[in-house]
């Protein structure tokens, strides 16, 4: 074949192939519009998504890190285009973790998702502009935060937190000691006056063999339990003023002192400070028959290797204030509910992926979850079964479920007051309580001092 014929043949062949490809493409398009499945389309779209890596920061210890890694592994399996780098800033210490986090944020590090130990720690950083608001992402996903989570923390009417865990408070009781003195397991509606009466009846013995009716630890929870359990904010009223003027302070401070000095049913505060006692050991050793605590202690009765004991643990709702000491902003027996929060760093470069991780972590029913969810639609009983573990005979399970999820148990709405100076106000409470318990100062003079100090802090730091 001569060169000119070869060129004509080649051009003709190319034209024919082009026409065939066009016809084939048209035919394929027509066919795909009628037959391609939505899953195939989604798969094709997914395969073209950009691969991103985001970082998740928290303060896991060795045990909780295992559960976190399992949860993140499930997320990555469901979202193959998103890789998650788990960064434990300070193992087992949330406060030191926050200090290190602040340094990272101030240095311009791209921070995606952060576990915050409380709403207060989140508010403090959101008010500084360190976190990203979530409202637009909620709207883009057709979600209403109030329908999803118990606590939705806002600053300047923008939503920042996504509740990760829920922390409940309750009273643990030595069921054998109750049976010994013929006392029933208390139910919702009992008061702190009833608690005092129970403590007196449960106290027995003397000296090193004495069993106290109750043990109060050194936290603020034990300095004014009503303020910490049945009020929206433990520092300020709805109008923004200090709650240290509340009648519950005078009532509970005096109750604590009377239980130590008159009833001798609670170990003295001075001894608790001096000996640096452990609240778990006080209860499981049998040195105290009752203790106010929270849901983080649910696994402990079944952990007989670490806390050897032979009695069954019962549970009761936190006592309510008596009629003569109701808080100013009292909501009729509803309880405060706390818990950790997930937040998004303002410097995140992958906000959609970060939001997707936050939603997964807060809503998943993963077998690795060992804390109650902050998601309203979660099945909390599944978590409870995991927490009880392999020694259910050490629990009065009926009283535990009734305490957590009984029909009378209701929870407070989120406070409209956002308190940022929590550490300063906490110190005022600590100092005031110590002043009253360890001296002869009257409750009136101590309360006046606390109110004056708290008001100064609020005026200087909250009302700017």
Per-residue confidence band for 391, with pLDDT thresholds at 50, 70 and 90: very high
Q: What is the pLDDT of residue 49?
A: 67
Same domain for 190 and 235, yes or no, is: yes
Report CA-CA distances (Å) from 291 to 182, 305, 319, 434, 461.
19, 21, 12, 20, 35
- What does the alpha-carbon distance between residue 196 and residue 260 come to, in Å, rounded to a whole number? 11
Residue 44 lies in a domain: no
Same domain for 228 and 320, yes or no, is: yes
Residue 11 lies in a domain: no
Residue 401 lies in a domain: no
Question: How buried is residue 390: exposed, middle or buried, by Cβ count under 10 Å (0-12/13-18/19+)?
Answer: exposed
Q: What is the pLDDT of residue 365?
A: 85
Same domain for 207 and 317, yes or no, is: yes
Residue 41 lies in a domain: no
- What does the alpha-carbon distance between residue 328 and residue 248 come to, in Å, rounded to a whole number? 9
- What does the alpha-carbon distance between residue 365 and residue 88 come to, in Å, rounded to a whole number? 23
Same domain for 281 and 424, yes or no, is: yes
* Torsion sign over Cα 216, 220, 221, 227: positive
pLDDT digits (tens, 9 = 90+) for 108-133: 899 999 999 988 788 889 988 999 99
Is the model's pLDDT at 138 over the cut of 80? Answer: yes
Same domain for 142 and 221, yes or no, is: no
Q: What is the CATH number of the domain that holds 322?
A: 3.40.190.10
Question: First-to-last CA distance in the chain?
Answer: 94
Same domain for 451 and 305, yes or no, is: yes
More confident position, 5 or 258: 258
pLDDT above 70 coverage of the chain, percent: 89
The residue range of the domain holding 106 is: 50-166+338-388
Please check whether residue 147 is in contact with residue 364, taking contact to mean a CB–CB distance below 8 angstroms: no
- What does the alpha-carbon distance between residue 291 and residue 317 come to, in Å, rounded to a whole number? 12
- The pair of structure tokens assigned to 137 is 């992402």
Same domain for 381 and 426, yes or no, is: no
Q: Into how many domains does the chain fold? A: 2
Q: What is the dihedral of CA 203, 204, 206, 211, to 10 degrees?
A: -60
Same domain for 232 and 149, yes or no, is: no
Is the model's pLDDT at 267 over the cut of 60? Answer: yes
Same domain for 314 and 369, yes or no, is: no
- The pair of structure tokens assigned to 51 is 């691969």
Residue 103 lies in a domain: yes
Residue 257 lies in a domain: yes
Q: What is the pLDDT of residue 43?
A: 38
Q: Any bridge partners for residue 292, and if so which? A: 171
Same domain for 332 and 342, yes or no, is: no
Using only C-alpha atoms, the chain has a radius of gyration, in whole angstroms, of 29
Local structure of 112: helix, strand or coil: coil
Same domain for 131 and 117, yes or no, is: yes
Question: Residues with Cβ < 8 Å from 70, sequence gap 6 or more?
Answer: 366, 367, 368
Q: What is the pLDDT of residue 36?
A: 34
Worst-scoring range by mean pLDDT, 22-26, 111-115, 361-365?
Answer: 22-26
pLDDT digits (tens, 9 = 90+) for 368-380: 788 899 999 999 9
Q: Quick one: average pLDDT of 391-410?
A: 95
Local structure of 338: helix, strand or coil: strand
Residue 316 lies in a domain: yes
Residue 8 lies in a domain: no
pLDDT digits (tens, 9 = 90+) for 195-250: 999 999 999 999 989 999 999 999 999 999 999 999 988 999 989 999 999 999 99
Same domain for 327 and 447, yes or no, is: yes
């Amino acid at each position: 074949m001569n060169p000119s014929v070869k060129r004509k043949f080649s051009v003709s062949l190319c034209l024919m192939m082009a026409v065939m490809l066009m016809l084939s493409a048209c035919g394929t398009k027509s066919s795909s519009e009628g037959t391609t499945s939505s899953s195939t389309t989604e798969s094709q779209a997914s395969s073209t998504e950009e691969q991103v890596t985001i970082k998740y920061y928290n303060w896991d210890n060795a045990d909780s890190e295992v559960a976190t890694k399992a949860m993140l592994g499930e997320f990555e399996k469901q979202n193959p285009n998103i890789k998650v780098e788990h960064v434990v800033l300070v193992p087992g210490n949330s406060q030191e973790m926050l200090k290190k986090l602040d340094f990272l944020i101030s240095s311009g590090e791209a921070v995606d998702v952060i576990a915050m130990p409380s709403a207060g720690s989140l508010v403090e950083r959101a008010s500084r502009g360190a976190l990203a608001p979530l409202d637009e992402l909620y709207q883009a996903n057709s979600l209403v935060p109030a329908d999803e989570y118990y606590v939705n923390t806002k600053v300047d009417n923008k939503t920042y937190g996504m509740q990760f865990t829920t922390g409940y408070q309750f009273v643990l009781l030595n069921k054998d000691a109750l049976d010994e003195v013929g006392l029933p397991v208390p139910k919702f509606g009992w008061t702190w006056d009833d608690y005092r009466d129970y403590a007196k009846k449960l106290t027995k013995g003397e000296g090193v063999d004495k069993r106290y009716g109750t043990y109060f630890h050194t936290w603020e929870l034990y300095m004014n339990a009503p303020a910490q359990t049945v009020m929206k904010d433990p520092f300020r009223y709805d109008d923004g003023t200090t709650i240290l003027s509340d009648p519950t302070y005078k009532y509970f401070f005096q109750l604590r002192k009377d239980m130590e000095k008159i009833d001798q049913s609670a170990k003295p505060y001075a001894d608790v400070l001096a000996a640096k006692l452990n609240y778990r050991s006080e209860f499981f050793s049998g040195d105290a028959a009752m203790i106010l605590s929270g849901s983080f202690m649910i696994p402990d009765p079944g952990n007989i290797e670490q806390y050897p004991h032979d009695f069954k643990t019962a549970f009761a709702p936190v006592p309510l204030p008596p009629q003569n000491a109701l808080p100013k902003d009292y909501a009729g027996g509803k309880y405060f509910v706390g818990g950790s929060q997930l937040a998004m760093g303002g410097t995140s470069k992958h906000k959609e992926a970060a939001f997707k991780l936050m939603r997964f972590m807060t809503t998943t029913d993963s077998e690795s979850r060992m804390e109650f969810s902050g998601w309203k639609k979660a099945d909390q009983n599944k978590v409870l079964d995991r927490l009880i573990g392999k020694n259910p005979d050490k629990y009065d399970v009926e009283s535990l479920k009734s305490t957590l999820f009984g029909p009378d148990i209701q929870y407070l709405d989120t406070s409209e007051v956002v308190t940022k100076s929590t550490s300063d106000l906490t110190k005022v409470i600590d100092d005031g309580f110590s002043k009253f318990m360890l001296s002869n100062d009257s409750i009136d003079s101590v309360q006046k001092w606390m109110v004056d100090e708290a008001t100064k802090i609020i005026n200087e730091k909250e009302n700017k």
